[in-house]
Chains A and B, each alone.
Chain A
Amino acid sequence: MSSSLNCIGDVKASRREFLKVSGLALGAAAVPAWLLELEAAEAEAVDKGKLADAALSAARTLRASYADIRINRYRNENIFTREKQVQQVSRTQSFGCGVRVLLKGTWGFASSHKVTAEEVRRITLQAIEIAQANAAYQRKPFTLAPVTKVATSWRSNFEKDPFDIPLEDKIGFLLKLNEAALKVKGVNFINSSLAFVNEQKFFASSEGSRIEQYIIRSFPNFNVTAVDSVKGDFQSRRSLGGPQGMGYEYAEKYPWLAEAEQAGNEAVEKLKAKPVEPGKYDLVLHPTHLWLTIHESTGHSTELDRALGWEADYAGTSFLTPDKTGKFQFGSKIINMVADRTQKAGLATVGYDDDGVPAQRWHLVREGVFVDWQTTRELASLVGQKTSYGCCHADSWGSVPFPRMPNVSLEPSKEKITVDALLAGVKNGILIYGDGSYSIDQQRYNFQFGGQTFWEIKNGKKGAMLRDVAYQSRTPDFWGACDAIGGEATYELNGSFFDGKGEPGQSNAVSHGCPAARFRQITVLNTAPAAGRS
């Protein structure tokens, strides 16, 4: 466990004090605009503890059996460039509060961008009115698993707060990256961007918890395109490095320039690459690709709310059901999948979830058998568990917290198995890097994934580049076909800023770590026009 949990005791500390205690005081070189913004916000400083008291006591008076309030500030910085120019530089922030109540076993929620005592009381009343209106027709009341009350603060693990880094450095970073790709002969276009997120979250519940969290995430990204205008063809190659729960050090430490040049070469090479012949192949999947397959097939199928039909109208249900817990053969014996909200640099890594439950690590699949679920306080008791695993999350002060995915990762082999060793066992196969097109059915059985680059494997060696590759399989068959996984040295963490779920749709940032892995005899399609039909 790498994330620092530092209890500061007094959670009523002002925002500026919180920043100091958390070691986040702004350096003298910080962009003055942020100072201005901070001062404006400080002028309007709100006493979150007092506002929480106002909401929670109003909820109690109005007979809520449970209530919580979240007072959150979200800061986003986005920079977009293409070729030699900057297209957009923007900073946004969103501040507000949301009150959730449980009344007669029925939820109500209301939220506002005005954060005053009067407004907090008004939205608490609204939340009660909504719960009351629906409670008149409620069939089965909800109950919550117990949680230990806590007063604490937490910050995510990062070295350099990206919001303190001068804009010139960030623009310079992107333009250099563009230059590296554009100097490759045959490259026509590059779009690149930097996205930084800061969440400043305050949570207080009627059960006495008071939690403050400060979270940073970073996402450099690019897409290189090569056009063959004579043939009317074009191919793109996106960056392989995904978003991370890290600070600006991610932009500095990862070899972005080398990757941009490599991406340029590969986009050009793709134009001339050999179209894949559809058929069955052994696949060796790199972590820059496999993370998304884990996400769709394992991350979502082990969400208990889906299995219980709570997401049936949109995201869907799951092929896993409570009666399969501890019995169902999910994959081959070498498959161990771990859910982990404490993982270093994980996008879903937090101190506490939006139920006030501490971050945890647990197995979902052990030695190939499906063993456990992702749960929240309202879900835990429905599968006979005493406490929640802490998977409750809302993407904004104005969104209702509900079950969201923790980081879900495939454990590496304890043996020192390299990518070359995985290739060595393949006569006729395909090596895939990067995530591409993705689609999976509503019970998480049938899926199809593309990628960024595809390479022939012939007699144990990486060969020529292929194009237009997608593979299609069925979750338990696919994981059952995994006969070798790489060691720790091949392990990488990748992920997404934008995992969508729920109605109204909410976005969740989540990481998936994995080693490279090998899968036997998987169906491969050719996705090019007029090909790939079976």
Chain B
Amino acid sequence: MLLSEQEAKAICQKLLDYVKADDATVSVESENYQHVRFAANNFTTSGRRENVEASVTLWLKDKKGAAQTNEMDDASLEAAVRQAEQLARLSPVDREYLPTLGPQPYKPTQGYIESTANISATERAKAIDAVIAACEKENVTGAGFHQARGVVAAHASKNGNFSYGRASLVSLSLTARTQQGDGSGYFLRNHFDVAKLDTGRIAREAIGKALRSREARTLDAGTYTVVLEPQAVADLLGFIGFVFDARLADEGRSPFSTPGGKTKIGEKIVDERLSVYSDPWHPELPGSQVAQGGIPAQKLYLVRNGVLETLVYSRFWAKQKQEEPTPGPVNIVVEGSQPPASVEEMVRSTERGLLVSHFWYLRPVDIRTMAITGLTRDGVWYVEKGKIQYPVRNFRFNQSLLEMLAGGNVELIGAPERVSASESQGSASALLPALKVKQFHFTSQSEAV
């Protein structure tokens, strides 16, 4: 059972009561997690986990210690606090210490649905059976993952702050492979409301891609125009979050550092039609009411009309730089300023290029330009004269994301859709558009299907 606000508050209070140190923040998180996996058109593993974790970070004057436990009896909670105090006593001075926050005006977000957090095992089995049956009907082999999660997070400080939030999430991914192993399709979606997860669509899309990707031809690696479905964009942009750190930029070790020790704030970094923002109260993508450092989350533009508007200042770094701490991001929305183009329109306008549905195993190779490597997976199609011509084998790419999104390289921008980076397995969420990009650098072929 997830902790109610009253229960969470009581645990926080108990922890704070044990604290003898000068300052402290405490938190408690409780989780109900359920999953089912299937592969080779058969149920494989399925399980659930119930857990509660209490954490304490405290300061004896300006010396910090932290501890965490998942045992909620009084003795264990007190032991965690004593342990954090012991660690603080032994630690050198925390030069980045700032007094914890007093009461903050949080504005709740609405991302919790009871029927998602406590999903029915029998209803879920029925839904997965339908997905497997759809695979069997088309003579493809399905492997997939369904997860449902309810989470409660409460935080409190010795200076009187308290927050309590609940969130739910459900996701389903399906990889459909042809019996001969010559075609593979993938589709993943998630939502905070199980009623809005369209499992039928997920099955149709993955199976369709598997069937359409058979008999792929080999194409030379090189630079191509690409139409990136929203899933492919999610896979690529899953990496961008961390690079907006202000401190790294100020220290000269970020793509947003400039020669001479400045940052690129105020400069155009991507196509001027693109904006990147965080909105805690977005109805399709509710975020947390609490941003980094415990400050109340606010709607926040990182990039507006192609210009880097802000970087993320922690409370400590903001004070050093005489800036305000940044109230986010707590989610990511990327949108274009012009009427959106559909994937079909992007294909129609392409003289010669590739349609990419999914990327895999993305890793940074040069942080200075956000250059990453990775591979296409589960469906690439050759496009010529505005039409999909035939499927092609997979490629490895080496591509700078800044170069990809630069003005002049972005041709068309789709409508933002709720998607999840495949390497997050459905746990991450963002609103991202399909993109048509003029030049994308594929550096070798892969025969993997």
A binding-site residues for B, Cβ under 8 Å:
31-34, 36-37, 39-41, 43-44, 85-96, 98, 100, 106-114, 126-127, 129-131, 133-140, 166-168, 171, 175, 188-189, 225, 227, 229-234, 236, 308-314, 316-317, 319, 398-400, 402, 437-446, 448, 450, 468, 470, 472, 474, 503-505, 523, 525, 527-530, 532-534
Contacts and interface: CB of A to CB of B under 8 A. Distances in A.
Given A92-B68, A167-B91, A129 B173 contact: no
Interface stretch (B7-15, B45-53, B276-284, B328-336): B45-53
Which A-B residue pairs are the 6 nearest by beta carbons?
A: A109-B47, A232-B259, A33-B86, A443-B448, A398-B49, A503-B145
B5 to A, nearest CB: 20
B365 A89 contact: no
A374 to B, nearest CB: 17
B67 A90 contact: yes
Contacts of A95: 70-71
Given A441-B396, A446-B446, A130 B66 contact: no
Contacts of B443: 472, 525, 532-534
B195 interface: no
A28 B93 CA distance: 27
Given A400-B45, A470-B373, 5 more contacts: A85-B94, A86-B92, A234-B257, A398-B49, A505-B425
Contacts, number: 313
A503 B441 CA distance: 31
Contact of A525 (B83, B173, B364, B398): B398
Task: Tell me which of A113, A445, A474 has the highest count of chain B C-beta atoms within 10 A of its own C-beta.
Answer: A113
Contacts of B444: 446, 448, 472, 523, 534
15 contacts: A34-B83, A90-B87, A130-B47, A167-B90, A175-B92, A188-B251, A236-B253, A312-B175, A313-B144, A439-B373, A441-B375, A446-B444, A504-B145, A523-B444, A527-B365
Nearest to B360: A442
B48 A527 contact: no
B20 interface: no
Contacts of B363: 437-439
A113 B362 contact: no
Contact of B45 (A171, A402, A527, A529): A402
B223 A533 contact: yes
Nearest to A137: B129
A138 B175 contact: no
B247 to A, nearest CB: 11
Contact of A31 (B72, B86, B258): B86
Contacts of B65: 89-90
B168 interface: no
A114 B73 CA distance: 10
Nearest to A172: B92
B392 interface: no
A307 B2 CA distance: 39
Contacts of B94: 85-87
Contact of A133 (B125, B360, B445): B125
Nearest to B221: A534
Contacts of B371: 527, 529
A131 B44 CA distance: 10
Secondary structure dominating the interface of A: mixed
Contact of A109 (B48, B184, B368, B369): B48
Contacts of A445: 446-448
Given A43-B75, A133-B122, A439 B253 contact: no
Given A227-B251, A441-B377, A446 B396 contact: yes
A168 B181 CA distance: 57
B93 to A, nearest CB: 8
B86 A86 contact: no
Task: Tell me which of A89, A136, A472 has the highest count of chain B C-beta atoms within 10 A of its own C-beta.
Answer: A89
Contacts of A96: 51, 70
A95 B144 CA distance: 30
B128 A313 contact: no
Nearest to A90: B66
Nearest to B41: A139
Contacts of A130: 36, 46-48, 121
Nearest to A472: B444
A441 B92 contact: no
B366 A468 contact: yes
B253 A137 contact: no
B83 A310 contact: no
A87 B374 CA distance: 33
B389 interface: no
Contact of A400 (B47, B68, B145, B361): B47
B42 interface: yes
Contact of A310 (B39, B93, B174, B222): B39
A92 B69 contact: yes
Contacts of A233: 368
B260 A446 contact: no
Contact of A36 (B79, B145, B221): B79
A41 B78 CA distance: 11
A229 B49 contact: no
B447 A138 contact: no
Nearest to B85: A33
B39 A312 contact: yes
A11 to B, nearest CB: 22
B177 interface: yes
B39 A441 contact: no
B141 A309 contact: yes
A511 to B, nearest CB: 21
A91 B68 contact: yes
B82 interface: yes
Contact of A137 (B51, B125, B221): B125
B218 interface: no
Contacts of B374: 439
Contacts of A472: 396, 443-444
